[in-house]
Structure 1
Amino acid sequence: MTPNAADASTTFADLALRPELLRALSGLGYEEPTPIQREAIPPLLGGRDLLGQAATGTGKTAAFALPVLQRMTGLGENAQPTALILVPTRELAVQVSEAFHRYGRDLGVRVLPIYGGQPIGRQLRALEGGVDVVVATPGRALDHIARGTLRLQSLKTVVLDEADEMLDMGFSEDIEAILQETPEDRQTVLFSATMPKRIDGLARRHLQDPVRIQIGREMPAPGEAPLVRQSAYLVPRSHKPAALGRVLDIEAPTAAIVFCRTREEVDRLAETMNGRGYRAEALHGGMSQEQRDRVMSRLRGGTADLLVATDVAARGLDIEQLTHVVNYDVPSAPESYVHRIGRVGRAGREGVAITLAEPREHRMLKTIERVTKQRITVEKVPTIADMRARKLELTRAALQESLLEDGLERFRVVVESLADEFDLMEIALAAVKLAHEATGGAADEDEIPEVGSATSREMRGGRDSGNRDDRRGRASAEGMTRLFVGVGRRAGIRPQDLVGAIIGEARLSTREIGLIEIADRFSLVEVPESAANDVIAALRASTIKGKRATVRRERGGAR
């Protein structure tokens, strides 16, 4: 089953949810159901089993939580739970429990998360007092079943959330053992981001005539940037730490996760990134739960902005301020890639997924593209010239912010005393130079060698010397002038977008276009002086990736 466009106007009230749930949703600011909620809630309310494929961030927690709460009777009265939600990690158990509390606050629902690393005595007391919904990791659920403290005879619904993750983590036997303890007439719901054969097998054994739903990420409207911008950089292994630093310096993420394969690599890379000035934290399976909690607290509290982690350690994490996911190595399977990038681009927010690939890994990138049916654009690693331009951009932004604030008057005497001897422009230039040098910046590193291959050229769009990415950092040629274009990286603009617009509208060839620089909010592009006015007129009359932009000569450029 796929979403029906005609159902886009469906409201939560149309789904016949009880008034207490509608009040809670309204109070949380939820106006209309997401596609997976529109498709899943009606059959779940009807008692059907369901097999759903949905990426993280599509709203699947509410898709199963609301029907579970809707169908509950005698809330707060039963000693045994009537719903069991199995999840792969402690973090996800807490998140799902909090969601049940939010949605069921007016119903008085009793929800208990049970997982390893928490004192079992607290869980035992809560179970003895009676709960309506248990959200559990498979290992700890099985432990309580063996103790006789978690009794499942009254269960009406079992939900397997992130089922592929649970199987990947080795919980297959635990899940089978738990399901054996549940009533045969239960409702069974299975959600998974991917559908490998093992999931199909699990569904055939335990679901009865299930409704099947497949929901992808919500597609952007024509002309809009995708919610997750996916790109890759081909980098020799020895240059990966420097390449990562440069990419992050250019991207300037609010918060990012960098995925590594081993614990040793996590520790080593976290130390390297701290040396580059990032507030990096390591997260891997060799850490205690207390250490993990401290790391997550620092990340969520804003005292850390970079998390370097292994896959296992980062499973189930939901970090609201996360903007970037970086694959320090190409994932070994497309399913891992899907799970990693599913952590950004959530709830309508834009996100960025970056992969650093060694030359031998570029074919795996093509496999991921084919399986996910999504384009991964191969970019050029930022050059030293790019880093210098970025540093100048930061200096300019800092000066602009200072000009907009008060408190400048006390420096007037310095400027006035120098103005008798120097031109005001020279004074300003000297002040900018001091401010620029005071900001520090990236170390004066060697250039990172470019990695070329037939596959990388193919992934860039079949162009070689015509691709404008390879012109960044070169010196300007004589007879060229630089144009300011008022859209940049935040609008999803890439060098090839500007090249395509200029070629299509102004009739220049690719070889006539010079240096291109992409900043956050604007871009600079060099064109022949003789064609500058025609290019300006053509771009003003058209759109770039569906957006109209201010186009003019760069101030201070050739006239």
Structure 2
Amino acid sequence: MVDVPGFEDPTASVALNDNADDGLKKKGNKKSGGFQSMNLNYNVLKGIIKRGYKQPTPIQRKTIPLIMEGRDLVAMARTGSGKTAAFLIPMFEKLKVRSAKAGARALILSPTRELALQTLKFIKEIGRFMGLKASVILGGDSMDNQFSAIHGNPDIIVATPGRFLHVCVEMDLKLNSVEYVVFDEADRLFEMGLGEQLTDIIGRLPDTRQTVLFSATLPKVLVEFAKAGLSDPVLMRLDVESKLPTELKCFYFTLRPEEKLPALLVLLKSFIDSQQQTVVFAATKHHVEYLHEVLDKVGISNTYIYSNLDPSARKIHAAKFSLGKVKVLIVTDVAARGIDIPQLDNVINFNFPAKPKLFVHRVGRCARAGRSGIAYSFVSPDEYAYLLDLHLFLGRPLTITTPSNQEGAVGKIPQELLEEQQDSLLILQKTHTELVNLRAIADRGYEQYLRSRPTASSDSNRRIKELPLSNCSVHSVFKKNNSGLEDDRENLLDRMKNYRPQGTIFEICGKNKSQEYQTMKQKRAFHKDKISAHHQLVQQKIAETESLAKSDSHTLQNSNSEDIEGTFSKVVLPKKRKMEVLYKKNKKQKTVDENYIPYAPVDQHTEQGLSVNNFQKEATRAQLDLVGDSEEILRMHKQQKVWDRKKKKMVALPSAKSGKIRTESGAWIPATYKSDRYAQWKEKTKAGADDDEDSDEEQPKRELHRRANTHWARHNEKIKIKQRKSELKNSDQIVKAQMLSEKKKQRQKKKGKGKRKSRPKK
């Protein structure tokens, strides 16, 4: 018998357990870093090797054994670390073989269509030798096809929560056979307002299920999610320190808002290889359409994706880019989560993201699986504070390009390059008038976007004023191709821009013997020491801010130790750091006074970037108005309350959204709403005809399930039976039908004779 690596002979394992020899036990427990050491099924291992996986990533090495033990798990790792394979491999090991009658045994919920389709693709690639059947349930697709897919008893269902709950309500699905549930990008699911759908779906699942939550970044609210749907879960926090891949380079360019489009053309035409794949992130769908038209006009092949796009069009456009037919993809944040494009080289943030976590997900599309990548970001003056928030969140120094520091991350684009592209855009708008309309629509859409954009932290807004971002030098990316004369020209322009005369307008324009000149001279001499001290303080603040976060490496704190111990039975952390370091209080805390209480936690910037719900914003919204300030508000408050006879007081009306769920289209419908689509589909396809072929044991169960269980239901069922017409007629019914047909024929004959008599003679 040939020994296959990673597989143990059952008899050998028994013999090994019976034998007490220490040497044999040590040999059996020998550790290995590959998938072969995980005791996987041969077909699973074969699919992994065919997919091209050689060594498991840290998240895969830690999570796969735990999931295979049957434990509920909450796993946190940075984007691009191999989370999809980490929950698919143990799923295949758990399901093993195809079961045509058991129904769906695994459920994977994804926040977006693209991520669900990508997960389905991974299932087909890794599980190609398993023989398992997988189906996808997505909003926008044909519901009849989804009914057929579920009737085919798939082993695995990959779905978005809105449409899947809609199908469950239509078909009265119980999901009793589900053994394995995955919440992919769990924080995004709750951020999108899908909490009601997830709660309803969880209620339909059996209590014996195994639940796994995966996400790139999860905040403290993870504790509440785990308490709701998981039993005795394990918390796994890996790659906490490195929020961005080490192979990713981040470049930031300071620009005016109207210079962003010329800057995009500069990068795509001159500084990014035309054979490299690039994703451009814009704020709204109107920006996406405008950029798409402009790039088409200038001869740059591109495609686009946004949320309101037709699902089939989104699929076609994504396929064009992933297959390499076009090299530029313009998207909104709909593609910032979980989309895996293996050959992606560059990411361009046309509009800088307002949340640090969103930046991590955007730029995480490239530099995956050990490859290198570059993230270019355009930062306008109203976005400077968000840039500072990002670096406080990442814990990285914010270096600015200056004549003395040529390798800074923040710089500017040479003005002559921007002016050249700006001139070409003006000519383009004159020849294509539709671009002017698209630009106006994009500007109005950006105004609406600014209303919903969260504000940056007050600390960043205060500190950004001390940074000389508007006076930074040309970025090192553009200096590589510049000659020495161009560098001297830029330096001269920078010095001219930053020049501030020593004297005031009274001293420069006035005569030496004038009263204004003499007064200002005396004033300057009187405040000479204060002026020099002020200049020294400004230079000191600039030096301190340029080295922001260089010496601050705060540990990422989680919830309180009581919450952690009450929710998670086990916490897995990187080997370099122990659990006590995370949750033990620092006894040597420096305080100014023994009664001093710090007003901000150590990890405020990190947790603020990871937070789903900001407590400060929620608290400001929850305000109590004792008296309305207008008649309209007072009248509205009266209308919102009704008199309760039992409580003998005015009570608030129930919420309009209570007992309702939101569909994939965003509309709120009753949770029990059920259309007649499924019944019509069964009538059309005769899908219920197979029920007659059930075994004698299953038939009584089905009849019991169909039987009415309440008085009114039984009453209505009797009425329906009476009203139902039988296909076989008795003798009286046949005679009556013949008499009616004879009368009908006689009436038709009389009508025919009357028409002939009234016909005029020729």
User: Equivalents in 2 of 1:469, 1:386: separation in Å?
Assistant: 13
Relative distance call for 1:66 and 1:242 in structure 2 (3 A) is same
The equivalences for 1:310-325 within 5 A come to 310-312=332-334, 315-325=337-347
Q: Which residue of 2 aligns with 1:493?
A: none
Paired residues of 1:270 and 1:282 also in contact (CA < 8 A): yes
User: Equivalents in 2 of 1:134, 1:112: separation in Å?
Assistant: 5
1:115 equivalent to 2:135? Answer no
**1:153-195, CA deviations, whole angstroms, 9 ceiling, x for partnerless residues?**
1111110001122222222211111111111121110011111
Residue 55 of structure 1 deviates from its aligned partner by: 2.8
In structure 2, which of residues 292, 309, 325 is the aligned counterpart of residue 303 of structure 1?
A: 325
Q: Over aligned residues, Cα RMSD in angstroms?
A: 3.4
Range moving further from structure 2, 43-52 or 323-332: 323-332
The equivalences for 1:421-460 within 5 A come to none
1:251 equivalent to 2:282? Answer no
Q: Which residue of 1 aligns with 2:70?
A: 47
Matched residue SS, 2:214: strand
Q: Which residue of 2 aligns with 1:332?
A: 354
Paired residues of 1:284 and 1:309 also in contact (CA < 8 A): yes
User: Equivalents in 2 of 1:454, 1:470: separation in Å?
Assistant: 28
**1:234-282, CA deviations, whole angstroms, 9 ceiling, x for partnerless residues?**
1110111111221333133612121111121221222223333321323
Residue 445 of structure 1 deviates from its aligned partner by: 6.9
Relative distance call for 1:71 and 1:37 in structure 2 (3 A) is same
In structure 2, which of residues 274, 279, 293 is the aligned counterpart of residue 271 of structure 1?
A: 293
Relative distance call for 1:198 and 1:78 in structure 2 (3 A) is farther
The equivalences for 1:3-152 within 5 A come to 10-72=33-95, 75-148=98-171, 150-152=173-175
1:383 equivalent to 2:414? Answer yes
User: Equivalents in 1 of 2:71, 2:463: separation in Å?
Assistant: 50
**1:93-131, CA deviations, whole angstroms, 9 ceiling, x for partnerless residues?**
122122222222222111111111222222222211211
Residue 468 of structure 1 deviates from its aligned partner by: 6.8
Give me the TM-score of the superposition, normalised by structure 2.
0.49
1:158 equivalent to 2:158? Answer no
Count, aligned residues: 409
Paired residues of 2:277 and 2:346 also in contact (CA < 8 A): yes
**1:3-58, CA deviations, whole angstroms, 9 ceiling, x for partnerless residues?**
xxxx9951111111112211221222221111110010111011111111123321
User: Equivalents in 1 of 2:468, 2:33: separation in Å?
Assistant: 40
User: Equivalents in 2 of 1:269, 1:151: separation in Å?
Assistant: 47
Relative distance call for 1:8 and 1:124 in structure 2 (3 A) is same
**1:372-417, CA deviations, whole angstroms, 9 ceiling, x for partnerless residues?**
33566634333267799xxxxxxxxxxxxxxxxxxxxxxxxxxxxx
User: Equivalents in 1 of 2:465, 2:379: separation in Å?
Assistant: 11
Relative distance call for 1:387 and 1:266 in structure 2 (3 A) is closer
Q: Which residue of 2 aligns with 1:531?
A: none
Relative distance call for 1:60 and 1:314 in structure 2 (3 A) is closer
Relative distance call for 1:371 and 1:269 in structure 2 (3 A) is same
Relative distance call for 1:76 and 1:283 in structure 2 (3 A) is same
Range moving further from structure 2, 19-28 or 39-48: 19-28
Q: Which residue of 2 aligns with 1:242?
A: 262
Which amino acid counterpart does residue 179 of structure 2 have in structure 1?
K
Residue 149 of structure 1 deviates from its aligned partner by: 6.1
The answer to which structure has the higher helix fraction is 2
1:170 equivalent to 2:193? Answer yes
Residue 320 of structure 1 deviates from its aligned partner by: 2.9
Paired residues of 1:285 and 1:313 also in contact (CA < 8 A): no
Paired residues of 2:412 and 2:473 also in contact (CA < 8 A): no
User: Equivalents in 1 of 2:483, 2:117: separation in Å?
Assistant: 51
Paired residues of 1:276 and 1:442 also in contact (CA < 8 A): no
Residue 209 of structure 1 deviates from its aligned partner by: 2.5
User: Equivalents in 1 of 2:123, 2:479: separation in Å?
Assistant: 53
Q: Which residue of 1 aligns with 2:251?
A: 231
Residue 444 of structure 1 deviates from its aligned partner by: 6.2
Residue 298 of structure 1 deviates from its aligned partner by: 2.5
Which of structures 1 and 2 has the bigger CA Rg? 2
Q: Which residue of 2 aligns with 1:397?
A: none
Which amino acid counterpart does residue 31 of structure 1 have in structure 2?
K
Matched residue SS, 1:71: helix
Matched residue SS, 1:51: strand
Residue 348 of structure 1 deviates from its aligned partner by: 1.7
In structure 1, which of residues 321, 330, 341 is the aligned counterpart of residue 363 of structure 2?
A: 341
Structure 1: stretches of 5+ with no match in the other structure: 1-6, 389-440, 447-452, 479-559
Q: Which residue of 2 aligns with 1:369?
A: 391
Q: Which residue of 2 aligns with 1:402?
A: none
Relative distance call for 1:464 and 1:115 in structure 2 (3 A) is closer
User: Equivalents in 1 of 2:132, 2:91: separation in Å?
Assistant: 11
User: Equivalents in 2 of 1:55, 1:105: separation in Å?
Assistant: 28
Matched residue SS, 1:174: helix
Relative distance call for 1:241 and 1:454 in structure 2 (3 A) is farther
Which amino acid counterpart does residue 249 of structure 2 have in structure 1?
R
Residue 136 of structure 1 deviates from its aligned partner by: 0.7
Relative distance call for 1:107 and 1:332 in structure 2 (3 A) is same
Q: Which residue of 2 aligns with 1:545?
A: none
Range moving further from structure 2, 68-77 or 227-236: 68-77
User: Equivalents in 2 of 1:217, 1:294: separation in Å?
Assistant: 36
Relative distance call for 1:116 and 1:358 in structure 2 (3 A) is same
Matched residue SS, 2:371: coil
User: Equivalents in 2 of 1:13, 1:315: separation in Å?
Assistant: 31
Relative distance call for 1:316 and 1:42 in structure 2 (3 A) is closer
Give me the TM-score of the superposition, normalised by structure 1.
0.66
Matched residue SS, 1:323: strand
Relative distance call for 1:467 and 1:180 in structure 2 (3 A) is closer
Matched residue SS, 1:363: helix
Relative distance call for 1:244 and 1:272 in structure 2 (3 A) is same
Matched residue SS, 2:412: coil
1:189 equivalent to 2:212? Answer yes
User: Equivalents in 1 of 2:201, 2:104: separation in Å?
Assistant: 14
Q: Which residue of 2 aligns with 1:206?
A: 229
The answer to which structure has the higher strand fraction is 1
User: Equivalents in 2 of 1:196, 1:136: separation in Å?
Assistant: 24
**1:315-345, CA deviations, whole angstroms, 9 ceiling, x for partnerless residues?**
5533333211111112111111111112111
**1:201-240, CA deviations, whole angstroms, 9 ceiling, x for partnerless residues?**
21221122322222339979xxxx9321112111110111
User: Equivalents in 2 of 1:471, 1:77: separation in Å?
Assistant: 64
